[in-house]
Structure formats: structure tokens, C-alpha cells
Amino acid sequence: MTTPKRSRFRRIVKLAGLVVSVLILVVWALSLKWGLVWIPSQHRGAAVAGGLISILHSPGGPPRPTGWSVMYMTPKERTWGHWGLAWPRTFEHPMIVHREHYVPLWLPLIFTAIPTACLFWLDHRRVPPGHCQRCGYSLTGNTSGICPECGIKK
């Protein structure tokens, strides 16, 4: 039998995993139509657009305005390459080197949703009455109160 502290910890982890997974799905859905760009310095920045998280770095070239901005993606920009299927790449120009490193949003979703789903599945398994709560062995006719399979007391 699990202790209440472990049970509470599992509930918190499951809830946090569920919230993070739902937030990633919402951000992915919104990023297919709109993009959010943050440029803290003139040559660095980050963006969420087209199902991707991108880290931007351009050491040369003209300075850009800093701060937050929201952009609308036109239907032409909404191609399969922007659905989170792109990988890191480097764009080069004779005067400017512009690097963008992409992380598709489905990658963090996998790392949060699968363990969360496993926790929900493990906690959802019900042991029928008359069976050992630890291993599920049928204790029908057992008068000792000790499971012969795992040795736990009833």
C-alpha cells in the first residue's frame, strides 16, 4: 500500500504533466496562425511560430528593434515545413550570417505527455476485491491474511 505522501506527490506530478501537455498543445495550435517573437538584444531572440520554438542568432547585420511582437502568419507561410517538422538549420547571406535553431513543439509534448499518461494508467488500474493490493493475486480461500505470492499482509 502506498503512503499518503507518495500518493500526493503522484497527484501533483500527474496534474503538472497534464497542465504542461495541454499548454504545449494550445501553444502549438495558436502558433500555426500567429507567432510570438521576443528579441532581448539586437542580435539575439526567440520565437514561437509554425509549431516550432526557434532560437535566433545573427552576429552581423543591421540592428533590430528589441522587445515583444506578435505576427500573423499568411496562408503562404503556413506550409508543412512550418508545422513543426523542420530541424536546425543555418541561413547564410553574403553580408549576414543568420542562425536559427528549431525545436519542434511535439518533442517537449512527447517528453511530458507519455510519462503523464503512464502515471494515469498505472493509477487507474483497479485491483478487484479479494485480491492482493500489491500484486493482484487472488486471495480467495486464504485464511492466513498473508499473500502467498508476494508475502504482504492483507
4: helix, strand or coil: helix
Helix and strand numbers, DSSP H then E, in the chain? 2, 6
**Is 81 inside a domain boundary?**
yes
Q: How far apart are CA 105 and CA 115, in angstroms?
A: 17
**pLDDT over threshold 70, residue 72:** yes
Is the residue at 86 inside a domain? Answer: yes
In a domain, residue 68? The reply is yes
0.85 cut: is pTM over it? no
Q: Is 135 in contact with 150 (CB distance < 8 Å)?
A: yes
The answer to whether residue 14 is domain-embedded is no
Count the Cβ atoms, other than its own, within 10 Å of residue 103: 16
Domain annotation covers residue 79 = yes
Contact 84, 50 (CB under 8 A): yes
* Overall domain count for the chain: 1
The domain of 49 spans 32-104
Residue 96 reports pLDDT greater than 50? yes
Confidence band for 3, pLDDT divided at 50, 70 and 90: very low
Asked which of 5-9, 44-48, 76-80, 93-97 is least confident by mean pLDDT, the reply is 76-80
pLDDT tens figures, 32-68: 888 888 888 777 888 888 888 888 877 766 666 778 8
Collapsed DSSP state (helix, strand, coil) of residue 63: coil
Segment 109-143, tens digit of pLDDT: 999 999 999 988 887 767 788 888 888 888 888 88
Does 149 fall in a domain?
no
pLDDT score recorded for residue 25:
94
**Is the Cβ–Cβ distance between 59 and 65 less than 8 Å?**
no
Residue 15 lies in a domain: no
